[in-house]
Structure 1
Amino acid sequence: MLLIISFLYALFTLTLWITWLKMPTLRSRALLTKGPRITVVIPVRNEAQNIANLLDDLSRQTYSQFEVIVADDSSTDATLSIVEQYAQQSTYELCALPLTDERTASPKKRAITQSIALATGELIVTTDGDCRVGPGWLASLAAFYTQTGAKLISGPVTFTTEQTIFDSLQTVEFSSLIGTGACTMALGFPTMCNGANLCYVKEVFKEVGGFSGVDHLASGDDEFLMHKVATRYPDGVRFLKSREAIVQTQAHRNWLTFYNQRKRWASKWRAYESLLPSALAVFIFLSNAVPVMAGLGWLLGFLNGNTALVVIGLKLVPEFLFLRQVLVFLQKKSSVGVIPLTQLMYPLYVLFFGLAAQKKDTYGKDGNLTDA
């Protein structure tokens, strides 16, 4: 059984690797300066240290047809005043939207929904207050939408410069999520995306009912919406493979915030209406349990050493090939050397969060928009 699961996982990972290699890359010469109007929605709470950097990045966009709405969820710092002052001299249309202080299970979904009600753009693009974007970010999204007619576009996300080994480990782990989400979209069965770099047609958001049906969940403003759009438009969900489109966000600086976010992420599988994401979550859980069981079986004398090595090798080698390719694309080649260490820790990580996510009160009530 261990060998069968290992072989299936190796086949799955090699399929992702080949799919990634074959996925076309949007070239710089295809970028647009004008096209469909875009509304950039930025839900924030207490981002006074970061929001000005993102607003500066937006002022350097090569694309001109856009507006920005910063939805502030009752920040207790200077976030709102920074945005309001910036709007007075901004070179683009910038609106500060103060949200009422009311209890809700998902402040981020509320912020996005209220922003879309005011949006004048054909396309909605979401990101977070602590993110950084390049000058070709919106131009690449507009070009890809024009070329493909996609209803929802998922863009690449990675972390800013790594300062510690913990940062590098997060970069490798996060690249696996971004790469897997991209490849499953290319294969026609989308599984995951990230709200830090997400684009969708405003009318399609309304057509699928927005976040209705999942607005009671603290997390999932990105993936649950993606699945609703994919159900309505099976060929309408795409991944934009373009370095111009990469969004950088900050890695977690302490274990507690990392734990709370990953616990929420791991718990979302129970709320999926489609069986595929849930089946994939279970498959990944089992695939990471197998090498642990193989190692223990060999140490306890229940499993032949050669068999244990084959089981572990079937996981490590295809994983390395896939992760290396994604990291290089994300311009994180310096983190390639951390892949083996991540692979050593990852099975324990998956088992831990897979079990922790089954506890009640999974989603929490912290109301932090940028953690979702």
Structure 2
Amino acid sequence: MMPLFFFLFFLLMVVYAVLIAYYHKAWNKMPAFVLPEKQASVFISVIIAARNEEKNIQNLLQSLNDQRYPKALYEVIIIDDHSTDNTWSLLQELHFEQLQIRPLQLKDHIAETNTIASYKKKAIETGINAATGTLIVTTDADCRFNPLWLQTIAAFYEANEAKFIAAPVTYYNQSSLLSVFQTLDFLTLQGITAASVYKRFHSMCNGANLAYERSAFYEVNGFNNIDTIASGDDMLLMHKIFKQYPDKVYYLKNRWAIVTTEPAANWKQFFNQRIRWASKADRYDDKRIFLVLLLVYLLNVCFLAGAIAAFFKYTWLMLVLLLLLAKVLIEFPFVNSVAIFFGQQKLMKYFPFLQPLHIGYTIIAGWLGKFGHYEWKGRRIKK
């Protein structure tokens, strides 16, 4: 039994090493987009679903107001998703000269009931229906943007005639163990996202920084057939558009396009977020990404099983530590290259020491994403 387990463990590690090397090579090969001198002219509708975001609304609008993209070429549509705080009141009160802000209330379109799986999809859909822009850009209420954010997205869209654009996201406020851990984990995900989209290996993205043609959204019938899934307003929609336009889906690699978002405030919130992300793993039509996720999950389970076996046999402790070192050596160059792009290389000194924590969280979040439940924005969601 043990020799068979060792063989499986080693085989998974070899396949994983090949996969990470593939991502690393693709990341390094992917050219950074250079903003052209010519000003883009596409009209953009920025769509934001907000629920209980009173602490973030003012900074959000200020960051949007600071955009250097001409104010006449973008509108901001914020959909209040049944907030129980002062989000809606602030949206009514705050005004910025020239910034086109259109606040909407989701309760004017649908009531809050237990029969709706994804309010965020409903909110985004409501915003898109009210939008006038050719290009839809979605983000979150706790995000902040470089002043050239929209200008860079618009220029990239026009240069590539893109139908869907995944763009970079990272965290701010890296002052605690949890925030550092989240940032390093997210750097890995961003590197995989960019590499996989660039090579058209599989589709990945994050809803905090997306752009897609409004016409493409309607052409694939929006969130139809994926609206029974609580999560997936980003990746599941991306795959629908990818199937329609496989050569028109891109990752925008440019520092000015980076969106910064707030990390989870505590471990409970963090696990709920990651369980929410994991809950859609078996709903991807793109089976390549499912196989990647399965590989990662099985490898981490092997580490757990090996750690348990180490309590009974000393040689297993040596094996697990050796393979853990191999895992660090496999991942470090890739994540470090991504960290350099995001200006977060200083965090890489913590990377080796956070591996056991990462293995444990991956196993727990993956399991509960399939068989458990989670809470998000004050709502309890079951699988």
Whether TM exceeds 0.5 here: the answer is: yes
From 70, 77, 81, the equivalent of 1:69 is: 77
Q: Secondary structure at the match of 1:127?
A: strand
Task: Give the one of 313, 330, 336 matched to 1:301.
Answer: 313
- Do residues 14 (structure 1) and 14 (structure 2) align? no
Among 269, 272, 275, the residue aligned to 1:257: 269
Q: Distance in 2 between matches of 1:289 and 1:31?
A: 51
How does 1:1-372 map onto structure 2 within 5 Å? 1=7, 2-27=9-34, 29-30=35-36, 33-64=39-70, 65-87=73-95, 89-100=96-107, 101-103=111-113, 104-297=116-309, 300-301=312-313, 303=315, 308=320, 310-361=322-373, 366-367=378-379
Deviating beyond 6 angstroms after TM superposition, the runs of 4 or more aligned structure 1 residues are none
For 1:124, the aligned partner's letter is I
C-alpha distance in 2, partners of 1:34/1:354?
42
Report the Cα distance in structure 2 between the residues aligned to 1:114 and 1:58, rounded to whole angstroms. Answer: 20
Give the Cα separation in 1 of the matches to 2:158 and 2:65.
23
Alignment check: 8 A CA contact 1:297 1:303 kept: no
The one-character-per-residue Cα deviations of 1:76-125 (angstroms, maximum 9, x if unpaired) are 222222222224x4322111111214322211101111111111111000
CA contact (8 A) 1:323 1:339 kept: no
Question: Are 1:61 and 1:138, in contact at CA under 8 Å, matched by a contact in 2?
Answer: yes
Q: What letter corresponds to residue 64 of structure 2 in structure 1?
A: L
Partner secondary structure for residue 219 of structure 1: coil
Q: What is the CA–CA distance in structure 2 between the aligned matches of 1:258 and 1:183, rounded to whole Å?
A: 25
Q: Deviations over 1:14-40 (max 9, x none)?
A: 11111111111113x426643211000
The answer to whether the Cα contact below 8 Å between 1:43 and 1:128 also exists between their aligned partners in 2 is: yes
SS in 2 for 1:231: helix
* Partners of 1:173 and 1:309 in 2: CA distance: 21
Unpaired runs of 5+ residues, structure 2, are: 1-6
| TM-score scaled by length of structure 1 | 0.92
1:133–1:32 CA distance, 2 compared to 1 (3 A):
farther
Question: What's the secondary structure of 2:94's corresponding residue?
Answer: helix
Question: Per-residue deviation at 1:316?
Answer: 1.3
**Higher relative CO (CA 8 A, sep ≥ 6), structure 1 or 2?**
1
Displacement of 1:59 in angstroms is: 1.1
Say if 1:152 and 1:236, in contact at 8 Å, map to a contact too.
Answer: yes
C-alpha separation in 2, matches of 1:122 and 1:228: 19
Give the letter for the 2:118 counterpart: S
TM-score relative to the length of structure 2: 0.90
Cα deviation, residue 305, structure 1: 7.1
Deviation at 1:311, TM superposition (A): 2.9
Deviation, structure 1 residue 297: 4.8
Whether the 8 Å contact between 2:169 and 2:208 is mirrored in structure 1 is yes
- 1:24 partner amino acid: P
Q: Would you say the 8 A contact 2:82–2:112 is kept in 1?
A: no
Cα distance in structure 1, aligned partners of 2:230 and 2:378: 9
Q: 2: CA distance between counterparts of 1:357 and 1:304?
A: 29
Aligned residue for 2:208, secondary structure, equals helix
| Larger deviation, residues 253-262 vs 131-140 | 253-262
How much has 1:310 moved relative to structure 2? 4.8
Gap change, CA 1:188 and 1:170, over 3 Å in 2: same
How far apart, CA to CA, are the structure 2 residues paired with 1:86 and 1:72?
A: 14
Deviation for aligned residue 1:360: 4.8
Cα offset, 1:132, TM superposition = 0.6
Post-superposition shift, 1:344? 2.6
Q: Is the 8 A contact 1:218 1:365 kept in 2?
A: no
Shift of 1:46: 1.3
User: In structure 2, what is the Cα distance between the partners aligned to 1:185 and 1:340?
Assistant: 27
Return closer, same or farther for 1:43/1:272 CA change in 2, 3 Å cut-off. same
Tell me if the contact between 1:107 and 1:367 (Cα under 8 Å) persists in the aligned partners.
no
Displacement of 1:303: 4.8
Which ranges in structure 1 are unaligned for 5 or more consecutive residues?
A: none
Identity %: 36
Deviates further, 36-45 or 302-311: 302-311
- CA distance, structure 2, for counterparts of residue 86 and residue 339 of structure 1: 42
Q: Which secondary structure state, in structure 2, belongs to the residue aligned with residue 195 of structure 1?
A: coil
More moved, 352-361 vs 320-329: 352-361
